Structure 1
């Protein structure tokens, strides 16, 4: 392993998406990530399909595309935590780990002796990250939290979707589990911060991550629009609350996203569109004026853009440095010359004999490249390896644990 975290070991007690997204990022950066799963079942998302990965003979495996998206580079160890010996094995791995990530319900690991206070006593350098719906404190702390409901509770759906009163208007979730993804990323940031602090103090700490907190934080300018003005933002479809023109428009053959970020770009757009006078009109000369008068400006821009094809507009506007782009399907994304040049679609040799597709990590290090081409593991694939190499158990001892049902090998 060559990444910047190749000297670290992570004990992954998380499942589904937010936690696994964080530990996948740590694995990409070279950390040894040991994922603890239930024998016979594993992470819930292994069964979240179709689609499922097909083996070399074209037969479906038990590996869902969902699971593959968030678990590359990890080692799977199947351990039964309901058994005392299973808990002891995981405790021993925790003693030898730098980081632990878990997303059990509030207090869920205390009964196993795997909560932060218990593990701090035996490994004071451990950085322990808990991910829950609402955090470790507050009146909602014991509630379960899922991405969709948090998008709603956390305000994202109030500003996502077509405007009320328009066709298709009403609240809309984002097309991916964005709150989970952002929580995983914030968790990784927190872990890296705790690692940096540990270099000075020599001590680990507990990181309390909540989906709800993350969603509110990620409202960014929309939350500040409310806190500054006292007026809650509303859904604007593809329009932007603070910038005009900054939305999708119909063209002669499809759609175009026009993302004008300053007055100079607006002037260049107007010149190319054959309406240079708009850029000097007092109603539209500044972004503040354009936001105030969007109701009269946007229809004029919409009418202009229908005169040419999407490709024609992109060619002309890119030459002039006016930000714009198409609305791609996901299939089209991976055919973009930029995606091909950056190698965003990857291939990984999977233990089933199949070739598993993947998406490259966006992290590009100059000296310590990421390890983003190690396929997600099959359930229990590394049970024997980890018990032998990390805990130093003999083949006889491992066999006895298997026979008792404490662990399962893939």
Structure 2
């Protein structure tokens, strides 16, 4: 593996799981950057290649923007900041012959290349996987597109929102059609992008293990639509077992009852009863221990079949006491339950704080940068937060020098506007 001098470990610091792995990141927006940020958090040296002048599209996806010391907006959108820490940025005009030569030079010195160009676009520049792997046989190339490298839709652009619809997620998300507010509903965050980024991370790690054993790189073909279909999980299995497409069911669960939102006397709570023993405890707490002996409700299968009878009984019982009263009683009995928090509540939650799910980082434009932390907790090789999300082209000179260019060559490329 190639090791960057900028990513060597400080003596005495914890080991980095992916120390020595170098990644050339030609991706933008979310799925690819989410993948490469995960690799970077684990210790990989990620080189983010951006378009001169504008950079990653998400740099402009605001407001909100990062605030400077005076409270004014900087040029860095929160969206971009959330997916690009621990990377170094180089701005290269990939449409130019000189820019393409630089990409080939960089690709010959890394372990992994991640890209999300449309199918065939990189081949037009002589930067397709086959060409790059001829110079670097151990290179792992991960392509992320909406629909993959094959199939009738391969040339279409793919966006998370459309993929949530096409992949079936919006048909099972939202309130039932016959109720107020019913109809198709997307998930509040770009889950197809995020899941694809995580699947891509897993695939890259598997390919690196194979490369380390054989010396042979490979290509990875990741598609948002494939991922969206895969993440249907139990609902996809339900359909394949029955041939019947599940519909929207609001805040309830297709396969478990009671497992949904209920209204207390002063707000809402989630009840998530996962087995018959928990249901018996739940029934006692709400003052209806007889429910657990009722043939209609004794087993989860029966509760699912008699959902329409049981849920109104539970709803009526839970409306009689305040939310926190119910939560305290249910938690004491170890019946799964929870509050419904907004993000202010979430980040103030003592468990979230105890798990250190935010991280403060120094940034060239602000001393107030906070980011959502990586959830991976490794005992021997913990994630690290080494670099804030880079400014556009912040590391261009540094990276070109590492690639072997002289200072004169770098300055000429800057004058020619090949790099910035």
Say whether the fold is shared (TM-score over 0.5).
yes
1:190 and 2:207 correspond = no
Q: 2:410 aligns with which of 398, 401, 405?
A: 398
Q: Report the counterpart of residue 154 of structure 2 in structure 1.
A: 141
- Mapped partners of 1:348, 1:239: distance in 2: 39
Q: 1:7-406 maps to which residues of 2 (within 5 A)?
A: 7-372=20-385, 374-389=387-402, 391-406=403-418
In the TM superposition, residue 59 of structure 1 has moved relative to its aligned partner by: 2.2
In the TM superposition, residue 373 of structure 1 has moved relative to its aligned partner by: 5.4
SS in 2 for 1:208: strand
- Mapped partners of 1:76, 1:182: distance in 2: 24
Q: Which runs of 5+ in 2 are unaligned?
A: 1-8, 10-14
In the TM superposition, residue 374 of structure 1 has moved relative to its aligned partner by: 2.6
- Whether contact under 8 Å (1:39, 1:78) holds in the other structure is yes
- Whether contact under 8 Å (1:283, 1:293) holds in the other structure is yes
Which consecutive aligned stretches of 4+ in structure 1 deviate over 4 angstroms post-superposition? none
Q: Deviations over 1:286-316 (max 9, x none)?
A: 0000000000000000011111111111110
- Mapped partners of 2:235, 2:115: distance in 1: 30
- Whether contact under 8 Å (2:66, 2:366) holds in the other structure is no
Q: Deviations over 1:140-187 (max 9, x none)?
A: 111110000000000000000000110000000000000000000000
- Mapped partners of 2:298, 2:387: distance in 1: 53
SS in 1 for 2:118: coil
Task: Flag the 1:235–1:193 CA change in 2: closer, same or farther, 3 A.
Answer: same
- Whether contact under 8 Å (1:347, 1:373) holds in the other structure is no
Q: Which runs of 5+ in 1 are unaligned?
A: none
Q: Deviations over 1:254-303 (max 9, x none)?
A: 10100000000000000111100000100000000000000000000001
Aligned length: 407
- Mapped partners of 1:61, 1:86: distance in 2: 28
- Mapped partners of 2:320, 2:129: distance in 1: 63
- Mapped partners of 1:373, 1:310: distance in 2: 42
Task: Flag the 1:373–1:324 CA change in 2: closer, same or farther, 3 A.
Answer: farther
- Mapped partners of 1:351, 1:3: distance in 2: 25
Report the TM-score when normalising by structure 1: 0.98
- Mapped partners of 2:368, 2:41: distance in 1: 19
- Whether contact under 8 Å (2:138, 2:217) holds in the other structure is yes
SS in 2 for 1:228: helix
- Mapped partners of 2:366, 2:221: distance in 1: 39
- Mapped partners of 1:371, 1:378: distance in 2: 19
- Whether contact under 8 Å (1:25, 1:188) holds in the other structure is yes
- Whether contact under 8 Å (1:361, 1:372) holds in the other structure is no
Q: Deviations over 1:30-77 (max 9, x none)?
A: 000000001110000000000000112222111000001100110000
In the TM superposition, residue 396 of structure 1 has moved relative to its aligned partner by: 1.5
- Mapped partners of 1:40, 1:177: distance in 2: 26
- Whether contact under 8 Å (2:67, 2:366) holds in the other structure is no
- Mapped partners of 1:184, 1:310: distance in 2: 37
In the TM superposition, residue 202 of structure 1 has moved relative to its aligned partner by: 1.0
- Whether contact under 8 Å (1:346, 1:373) holds in the other structure is no
- Whether contact under 8 Å (1:24, 1:71) holds in the other structure is yes
Report the TM-score when normalising by structure 2: 0.96
